[in-house]
Every structure is written in structure tokens, then in C-alpha cells.
A and B are shown apart, each in its own frame.
Chain A
Amino acid sequence: MNHIRITTKLGSLNLDVQADFAHEVIVISGENGAGKTTLLRCLAGLEACQGQLQIAGDVWLDSAAGFVKPTEQRNIGFVWSDAVLLPWLDAQANITLGVKDGDAAWFNQVCEALEVSPLLKRKPAMLSTGEAQRVALARALYIKPSLLLLDEPFSAQAPDIRLRLRQALKDLQQTLDIPVLMVSHDAEDAKVLAQQHWRMREGKLMNSVASTKVFATDARR
């Protein structure tokens, strides 16, 4: 089980989130400024916050004890709402960035699943927005993260490939057996992909943990 109990104040936003979740896909929706991205950034350790974080049996944050695990030790797959690819590296080098002695079979599996294999030798300037987004997703998955944080990862995908990507993401998530938190405005993402659907408003989850569990009873599992 993973536990989140965090608060933070950022500008006019007062984030206050409490939630428990298993190794499942959680889709987060809500209006602009509701704190969705800030929540992801807090989980990644990219934004300071108070409270407790326990992910995959590991303590990431315990403010009472003054403990914060830095981002570089959290083993996180993060996909920004824009792809954030390094322009001087081709797609392959972007995907393997910072990894020594990577798992070649896993690399191929991820690239095939996310349909980036034909793009590997291209620089980001030669990729469409949708292609760059898929490369960014492959990069996040390649490190076999303990937690995958996605900020509108399919926003630039055409409808047909979006269908296939949802399935691919689900398969990869099950292979890795990790929690995935995904910000999305697409109702289909929540319907097809999510075991839990969190709705955020003004920094808070509108549906309580208990109700999400009822809500999340997933017929396809």
C-alpha cells in the first residue's frame, strides 16, 4: 500500500491531499489551478511539501522526523506536460539518459509498445509533438520506476493511437507492478485505464479514499 498525506502552499494554492492506493493506475482530473501538477511535483520531490509519503514500502517524506528523500534517490518516472527532451540527443539517447548498462530487452519492449522504435535515431527537432510525447513516456518507463507520474501524457496523440497507448501503458504498468498517477482531462482515460479516479478542486481531493475505492471497483480486472 502507498500512503500520501501532504500539504503545501504554493502561491494561491493550498494543497492538502490524503490518499491510499495500491499498485494501480490513478487518473487525476480537475480544473486548471486545482493542484494536479503540484501534487505530481510534490510526489517527485520537485516541490517542497510537509507530511508523509510512503511509496512502494519506502519512506520518501516524513516531516515530523525531518526526513526528505531527494528526487535523485526516488527512482521516479516523470512525464512533463511538454515532452522536455534534450535537443542535442536523438530519441534513443533521450530514452536511455543517465542509465548505464541498461536492459536491452526491456528497452525494445517499451519502444515497441509505445511505437517509438522507428523514431530512435531522430533528434527532437525532427519529431512531432505527439512523437516527442511518446519518447518522453518511453524515457520515464525505461528506468523501471517505483512510481510513474504522468502529466497529460496523451494530450498530443491522435485518437487511434491514443487507444493503443492506453493499452500499452496498462500492460507496462502491470509488468512493472507500480503505481501510476496520471493527470488527464480525457474522460476515456479515467474510464478505460483507471482503478481510481481522483477529482481535484482547490488543492483537495473531492472524493474521499473510501468512495474512490467503491468508485474504482474495476470490472475489467
Chain B
Amino acid sequence: MLDALIISLQLALTTTLLLLLIALPLAYVLAFVSFKGRTVLEVIVALPLVLPPTVLGYYVLLMIAPDSWLGSAWASVFDSSLAFSFSGMVIASVLYSLPFAVQPMQQAFRAVPKSWLELGKTRGMSIKPMLRHIILPASKGGVLVAAALSFAHTMGEFGVVLMVGGSIPGETKVASIALFELVEMQQQQEAAQLALILLAVSFVMLSVVYSINRKPLVAGS
């Protein structure tokens, strides 16, 4: 049980860190750039919200299978299989939680006052300094919400990680799957404990989100 919890936490942490890096350019583009195919990109980012996790897991599995482009490239570099591995689960989790990271950041970026962006331009700022000095400090709350939601959502995954990870004890068996197996084996007491822990983690994460949303998003104002 402890093994599974640790794997869940590791997965959630890795996924959250990667997601922040990936979501930043996506949120920036969706918030500030108008281009052809924008709607398509928005739909793709939002898809995991409505897609059955098993469907997403199925496609990720195809993508990382040993005979796939990504799977064989991974195997030749790391000499290991991506399917049914922790790394494979990370890829799946990143895709699965993508909207939870992108959407709060996108909304926060859009809420940055136009005059602040204009100010940045009069200071000679290109995209990178603008992000560093104006957009990100102004969107701190949105970035924190993105991180908290990504973390909580990854902790709560079931279908995707089962498809892609395969529930290998000590490797890819995460807490939510462990709970399912505990119930199946009628280990009531341990199941109750694990359920309570997962409930508490979700409660804490959502409390963080809601308390940030209540406060003004800009530090110091």
C-alpha cells in the first residue's frame, strides 16, 4: 500500500513539473496568438476532459508500443520498454491532465491587463522578458492553480494508468489501482485507509485551488 502511494506521489509530482513546462507555451499561444487552427488546438487540449480514460490510454499504448516510432527510439536509447513502465505512465498522465494545466494558465494570461502588456512593449520587451517580468508574475495564482489541479488529477487517475502501466507492483501500481485490488481481495481495513488518504489529498489540493481563487491573483495588490 505504501509502495503504491509513493508511486502515485512520484507520478503526480513528475507529471506536474513536466506539465507546467509544456502548458506554458500552449497557454501563451492560446491566450495571445490568433492563428488558423487555433480552435483545433483548443479542442485537442480539452479532449482529455471528456474522453474515456481507456480511449486515451489505448492510443498512448499504441504510441509507446515497442514497435512504434517513439517506443523503438526509447528502447534504443534507454534499453528498456516504454510500455508498462513508469515513464510510459508519465507520458499518459501528462496528456490526461493537460487541460487542467493549460486552462487555468490560459485564463490567467488572458486576464493580464492590456496596458501591462503595452507597458512591456514600451520597455523593449520581447516574449521572454515579457513572460518573466510581467505575464508570469501577474499570473502567479493561475500557475499555482494549474499545478494543484494537475497534481490532484494525476493522483486520481485510474483508467489511463491501468491501460498504460499495467499495475506492476512496486513499479506501476499506483494508489487508485491498489485500492481497487484491495477491495477485490476484500481487505476492508487497508482499503478504508487508502481511500481516506486519497480523499484527504484531493481535499487539500482543492482547498489550495479555492483559496487561491478567492484571493486577488496578483501578489502585493
Contacts and interface: CB of A to CB of B under 8 A. Distances in A.
A212 to B, nearest CB: 27
B123 A98 contact: yes
Contacts of A78: 118-119, 122
Interface string B102-120: 0000000000010110111
A136 to B, nearest CB: 9
Interface in B118-143: 118-126, 129, 133-134, 137-138
Interface stretch (B27-35, B186-194, B203-211, B213-221): B213-221
A15 B113 CA distance: 25
Interface string A112-142: 0000000000010100000000000000100
Contacts of A75: 124
Contacts of A97: 119, 123, 133
Contacts of A143: 123
Given A84-B119, A86-B116, A72 B125 contact: yes
B220 A88 contact: yes
A46 B118 contact: yes
B218 A72 contact: no
B122 A77 contact: yes
A71 B218 contact: no
A71 B220 contact: no
A87 B220 contact: yes
Contacts of A84: 113, 115-116, 119
* B124, B134, B138, B219 interface centre (most CB from chain A within 10 Å): B124
B220 A123 contact: yes
A45 B124 CA distance: 12
A126 B133 CA distance: 21
Contact of B129 (A44, A77, A98): A98
Contacts of A89: 220
Query: Chain A interface secondary structure, helix, strand, loop or mixed?
Result: loop
B124 A98 contact: yes
Interface residues of A, number: 26
Nearest to B218: A87
Contact of A72 (B113, B116, B126, B134): B126
A8 B78 CA distance: 60
Nearest to B119: A84
B121 A70 contact: yes
A107 interface: no
A86 B123 contact: no
A155 to B, nearest CB: 16
A157 B54 CA distance: 64
B137 A71 contact: no
Q: Which of B116, B119, B129, B138 has the most CB of A within 10 A?
A: B119
A70 to B, nearest CB: 7
B69 to A, nearest CB: 40
Contacts of A125: 220-221
A86 B137 contact: yes
Interface of A: 44-46, 70-78, 80, 82, 84, 86-89, 97-99, 123, 125, 140, 143
Given A71-B122, A80-B119, A88-B218, 15 more contacts: A45-B121, A71-B118, A72-B120, A72-B124, A77-B122, A78-B122, A80-B115, A86-B119, A87-B219, A88-B220, A89-B220, A97-B119, A98-B123, A98-B133, A140-B122
19 contacts: A71-B122, A72-B120, A72-B124, A73-B124, A77-B122, A78-B118, A80-B115, A80-B119, A82-B115, A86-B116, A86-B119, A87-B219, A88-B137, A88-B138, A88-B218, A88-B220, A98-B120, A98-B125, A140-B122
